[in-house]
Chain A
């Protein structure tokens, strides 16, 4: 029986794959790496790309990861997959977005208040018009 290594692919939102493999390929930050059983301890960031897991029957399973971390110990390979596409500028954009939303929401408080005020004024105007119409009718009648 061929030597195998345990592979876990997990993401923050759930486990993706778990099982034995004879070889694992992943696209690490500096290039593609192949992990065989008894590989020395190794840790790296992953680039978006394929993670291929070759099982004992020689079949390959493909998993797409949009980045993450690869951790290797002699008997275990762990892929900590990102569920989102990550990049420094994308993260920065997301942060800016979150800030802007907070500012808008707190500014929106003012806008909401004024909207309510406008509605109240409108309702008052309509009520006045109706009252005038009624007055006219009663005068005529």
Chain B
């Protein structure tokens, strides 16, 4: 019966692992819903800002902010890499890093040097192993990231851009397609891509009264706009993380279930064999008497 007892302990241990994974799955599901709400809550702010920025850009064509300037030849490109702080979320971060590595390889082949800004512990850990010049980092943002945690990191990158140290800023993060699918994406933040003109065509010319003046207002708006875009990526990445974790934990729970079933079968066989052996011993003992 020794084998049977070992199997029983093993089953018990897998069962308790299964309990943990299924609990994590449920927690991730509820957190994912909240993260999705935050994702949609941050949209009106950025949309509204984009409207105002486009209008300002049209109303004062003589002033071109450096963020909206035309592309300059690229020597160094900045990447803001948004990752999760914790693991156990499937291949979410690895996929992003793989996508990023491919991009970096391409850029380096073209003679462009990449610099980085790490958001999330996993990204920081990645750059520790991988090397790469990290200008700024922000980690441990938690499940409810706040914009003030990002201001500093974004400012470092924007300052570097304005100083001409880097010629473009990209943000690498996961895009939330649906619960099952998260797609690693690299988007360009700065310079801001020129807007589609047709929908912005003004029926008649009008302009704002600026206080204090158009430049200051545009500066403040653009900085906030970029920050809100980074914030959106971070929030979206949180939703992706929770979705990926939910799926990974569901798979783990299912696997644990299969394992338990198989072990149960082995255990039953061992128990049956032991009983059969006992009976035959008793019978043969009785026959001997």
Contact = CB atoms under 8 A, between A and B. Distances in A.
A36 interface: no
Interface string B119-154: 000001001100000111111000000111001110
A76 to B, nearest CB: 10
A14 interface: yes
A82 B150 CA distance: 13
B49 A80 contact: yes
A45 B211 contact: yes
Contact of A105 (B42, B117, B137): B137
Contacts of A125: none
Interface residues on A, range: 35 or more
A83 interface: yes
Nearest to A14: B41
B208 A41 contact: yes
A96 interface: yes
A80 B45 contact: yes
Interface residues on B, range: 35 or more
A41 B52 CA distance: 11
A78 B145 CA distance: 24
B208 A69 contact: no
Nearest to B42: A12
B48 A10 contact: yes
Contacts of B124: 105
Interface of B: 38, 41-42, 44-46, 48-49, 52, 56, 117-118, 124, 127-128, 134-139, 146-148, 151-153, 155-156, 159, 206-212, 216-217, 220-221, 224, 227-228, 231
21 contacts: A8-B48, A12-B42, A12-B224, A13-B146, A14-B41, A28-B211, A30-B212, A44-B211, A45-B217, A45-B220, A69-B221, A71-B48, A80-B224, A84-B151, A96-B152, A98-B138, A98-B152, A98-B153, A101-B136, A101-B139, A102-B137
Interface of A: 8, 10-15, 28-30, 40-45, 69, 71, 78, 80, 82-86, 91-99, 101-102, 105-106, 109
